[in-house]
Amino acid sequence: MSKKASKRHRRRQQIQAHLARPDPRPPLPRPKVREPFYLHELGLTRECFGGCPAWGELPPVIRRGRP
């Protein structure tokens, strides 16, 4: 087999091996956060309704469910 043919054969084997691999497993789902929560420095609690600042005044330190 010539050098060119052996390269072609090796490349074809690599492509077939890549296509034969199973799909990667999907990532495990993260646990959902049941309610939004805030940093304790803001002084906000779950029961804070009337005395909370307006949404436009909240600083951008609200935690999310994802790290």
Position 13, amino acid: Q
Look at the block and give the residue holding tokens 């690599």.
14
Tens digit of pLDDT at every position of the chain (67 positions): 899 999 999 999 999 998 888 877 877 787 776 665 555 556 655 555 555 555 555 555 555 555 5
33: number of Cβ within 10 Å: 11
Task: Give whole-number Cα distances, 23 to 16, 17, 26, 38, 55, in Å.
Answer: 14, 13, 9, 38, 43
Closest CA to 64 of 34, 36, 30: 36
pTM here is 0.34
